[in-house]
Chains A and B, each alone.
Chain A
């Protein structure tokens, strides 16, 4: 397809259980904003074995919802999903397709770009128009040292996968748009994988997406009960330093730092942590850092927006009291 095609702006709404991945709603909001500048319509497209989830999408302001359904599409399969979505795109000629950069979204995007012979900008952290009808996807390069603005000038659709959490999902409104359900033409040979069984990973968590993290270190002495309570009241997750992880106080998937997870929460409470750089590199992207430490000379205070010098126990109790509730 050439750069002149314009069948509007499509957003791939990736289903997760009976709902959608959060990033699907985030990019739907962004698509709405871009569509106003482009004067085109937004279509949210879903793929699955049935319709029915469309009413949730309608609350996020699309002009159309397109459901591509087939019994073989019950579970994400890159090959089958790419055929279903690719065929629909070749019919409707959207000029733009946004996908969330989830595992499945990335899998699908790569396959689609090849199938449609177009370009793909992967993992963008911001999106804008170049003044005309061309989308510029900004991608951090060299580990954040530079940003590259990538365009797709010759081919359509211009495709982008968007990193989860960079755009805000719009507030829910009254339902908009029409819903169209299309039965996809598919056979067994189009499916590359088969689900044998499904077992959730259980306690595994992803701190990179947490908005609030309460981190405990050596200074907690292993007393994580109240820290968990604090995290719960703040609607956040518990994180830990390497020392706290080694001591077995907290699972290793919650370890933050150089050999652990690099996080970007909006708020991080750092309790009883000295502030070695191997830890602080894991919270450099945080919005607000609040540190509590007994030692006023602790290096963690150099990284904190707000520092409290004092014993952890009383400080945590008084924080819990001021948060109120049970």
Chain B
């Protein structure tokens, strides 16, 4: 693990950098109490110290461990001054792009998003391969936004097929964009490339308008968060996460409870929970299947990040620094039979970093599809 220098060079206050930062962030509000560092899940086993990062930013400096941040927003949630530290991290990363001082692999990620419209550098014509034999009504003003992971990742494709099956079961009219869908841009925003983020938002906004979309159901919490931000800025359609959409079907009596027995623990994805306050719908859906939900010690606003946000999916994390491994251990420790979550990133991180833990990892949609009735 890299260490901070014992005797760092003296720092001179950079007025210009500070003014630029003050114009785009609210880092000036920080009074250096350090609550953010205490809340940060990386403080325990990485050299990142959020308080120090903010202080350095105030002096016009960039923290050496800026790119370790997963934008999980535990710091935002705990800051007594309401500093948007996640926003600050994105802004500081944006500054690094100007000097190309960015981690290996990220330029490739952005070129892929730019040219292929996805985060995997895979051909756009394969984007609809998740559908297989799924029948989509293909009409109405509701759009299912699948996102890159659930479009291309065979593991996450199962989530997309499950969500589609649930919507079909409840008789919802909706359309999908298939090969015309492009990336939501969240990964670009997370790694600080606001220009590409806005470009992709614009492409999606135009597609929504052309298709007469009034409501977007996003599968990934990352798409949900990014599209929500983009659409409210552009006066576009309402954006919801699939757990919210299916919860409404439950409330309107279009889906009824299953009779599954057993226990499940639920991991709150950062971009669904802390970033957007969606805590109850996934839990209600799990109960809909008949399973009993057992909570982990760190849940809801205190949930521990899987480690895949903030562009970390495209940067390698040394095993000792991975929160994902700790999180699976915490889940297994509840004694629950299953670990459910509602984010393709969380799932792929948990599958990869579970170590010797045998608890099956599943998405809420996968778990309830086939277990609930119309």
Contact = CB atoms under 8 A, between A and B. Distances in A.
A278 B352 contact: yes
B321 to A, nearest CB: 12
Contacts of B154: 275-277, 299, 302
Contacts of A281: 120-122
Interface in A275-321: 275-278, 281, 284, 299, 302
Nearest to B111: A143
A295 to B, nearest CB: 12
Nearest to A246: B319
Contacts of B111: 142-143, 145
Given A275-B154, A277-B152, A246 B353 contact: yes
A277 to B, nearest CB: 4
Interface stretch (B16-24, B33-41, B309-317): B309-317
Contacts of B116: 143, 145
B256 to A, nearest CB: 29
Given A142-B111, A143-B115, A258 B353 contact: no
Given A145-B115, A146-B115, A277-B155, A258 B351 contact: no
Given A143-B115, A277-B155, A284-B122, A260 B352 contact: no
B314 A258 contact: yes
A301 B169 CA distance: 29
Interface residues of A, number: 20
B279 interface: no
Contacts of B178: none
B122 A299 contact: no
A254 interface: no
A138 to B, nearest CB: 16
Interface in A130-157: 142-146
B290 interface: no
Nearest to A252: B316
A143 B112 contact: yes
Contacts of B78: none
B359 to A, nearest CB: 15
B222 to A, nearest CB: 15
Contacts of B348: 276-278
B121 A143 contact: yes
Contacts of B313: 258, 278
A146 B115 CA distance: 8
A281 B119 CA distance: 10
A259 interface: yes
Contacts of B44: none
B234 interface: no
Contacts of A260: 316
B105 interface: yes
Interface in B292-323: 313-316, 319
A258 B149 CA distance: 13
B114 interface: yes
A242 interface: yes
B155 A299 contact: yes
B173 interface: no
Interface in B133-187: 149, 152-156
Contacts of B315: 259
Interface string B95-117: 00000000001001001101110
Contacts of B353: 246
Interface string A252-271: 00000011100000000000
A169 interface: no
B115 A277 contact: no
B133 to A, nearest CB: 14
Contacts of A299: 154-155
A146 B124 CA distance: 13
Nearest to A260: B316
Interface string A228-263: 000000000000001100100000000000111000
Nearest to A259: B316
A275 B111 CA distance: 24
Nearest to B154: A299
B345 to A, nearest CB: 10
B314 A276 contact: no
Interface of A: 142-146, 242-243, 246, 258-260, 274-278, 281, 284, 299, 302
Q: List 9 A-B pairs, minimum CB-CB distance, nearest first.
A: A145-B115, A299-B154, A143-B111, A142-B115, A277-B153, A259-B316, A142-B111, A281-B120, A143-B108
